[in-house]
Structure 1
Amino acid sequence: MKTKEEWINELHLEPHPEGGYYLRTEEATEKINRNSLMRPLYTSIYFLLTKDNPSHLHQLTADEIWYYHDGAPLTVHCLYEDGRYEAIKLGKDIANGERLHFCVPAGTIFGSTVAQEYSLVSCAVVPGFDFADFKLFTQEELLVKYPQHEGLIKHLAFETID
């Protein structure tokens, strides 16, 4: 198995604002009009997360499909509008509840963690990702709405956003 450094170097991954490392790999040439904004029909990235560099809590205006590739299993932590929490584990151990892919519905607040060295996934966003459709959250913002999830929020939301 490769190390996280080998994947970062081989795939030319760069730091992502939400945490982890990424590289945009695909972008549809076809565009779609969404809320009076033109977006690619889809986009896709390689995304590598580490134990010390998780995906912090954020929200997209489009669905995002995560596909597991390599490394340790990864947990996608979802906070739904109604206050429900769900943890989805991505990995190869299907018999023990892991999944090879998962679709995070648009509008869900979510982040991801890895318990061991790293996890390599791909993420596809439909319609395509644009940073204008991306929101990071502070702990203060989320604790007002989801106080029952304080532990998760303190772990995966930034105290401040620069």
Structure 2
Amino acid sequence: MFTASEWITQLQLEPHPEGGFFRQTMKSDETVTTADGRSRAQYTSIHFLVRSGEPSRLHRLESDEMWYYHTGAPLDVHMIHPESGQHEIMTLGPNPSNGEVLQGVVPKGAIFGAEVRAPEQFALVSCVVVPGFDFADFELLAHNELTAAYPEHREVIERLT
């Protein structure tokens, strides 16, 4: 089995602004027009690697994002749903008897980030965004803004901002 560094090299991953490492692997040649008139690819897909102690920081997208587990340790994807304020954890991993899933969705508008809890480990996943990802639709969220809005989730906000 590859180490995190070997996966980063083999897959030619680069640092992502939210944390972790990524590379876009697919982008539809077809486009769609969003409800507010923006043109986006029908879909985009990336490989994404997160190492323990280096989380994917809390952010928000304007599209649904589907996550697919590949290898490594389980990955906790934390979601805060703005409409209800509810915190939900989707754990991607290979062991369904531990509540882990091989795939899942983060709905558009959710505030989310991800972390590997196991020390000295990593998780390799893929993410598909529909309509396709565009950095114009990406919002990295500030610690003070989130703790003011969701003080009951301070612990996870501290770790993921």
State TM-score, norm by structure 2. 0.96
Cα offsets for 1:89-130 (capped at 9, x unmatched): 110101221000010000000000002310000000000000
Give the match's secondary structure for 1:56.
strand
Question: Mind listing any 5+ residue stretches in structure 1 that lack a counterpart?
Answer: 158-162
Encode CA deviations 1:19-73: one digit per residue, 9 max, x unaligned: 0000000000000011211100000000000002110000000000000000001
Is 1:26 the counterpart of 2:15 in the alignment? no
Amino acid at match of 1:18: E
Matched position secondary structure for 2:79? strand
Deviation, structure 1 residue 154: 1.0
Which of structure 1's runs of 4+ aligned residues deviate more than 3 A? none
Cα distance in 1 for residues equivalent to 2:53 and 2:116:
8
The unaligned stretches of length 5 or more in structure 2 are none
Q: Report the residue type matching 2:152 in the other structure.
A: Q
Distance, in Å, in 2 between the alignment partners of 1:75 and 1:88 is 6
Equivalent residue, structure 2, for 1:85? 87
Count of equivalent residues: 157
Aligned residue in 2 for 1:141: 145
Match of 2:136 in 1: 132
Counterpart in the other structure of 2:77: 76
2:41 equivalent to 1:37 = no
> Percent sequence identity over matched residues?
49
Q: Give the distance between the partners of 1:62 and 1:125, measured in 2 at CA.
A: 6
- 1:40 and 1:88 map into 2 onto residues whose CA distance is 26
- Higher mean alpha-carbon deviation, 139-148 vs 117-126, is at 139-148
Q: Which residue of 2 aligns with 1:94?
A: 96
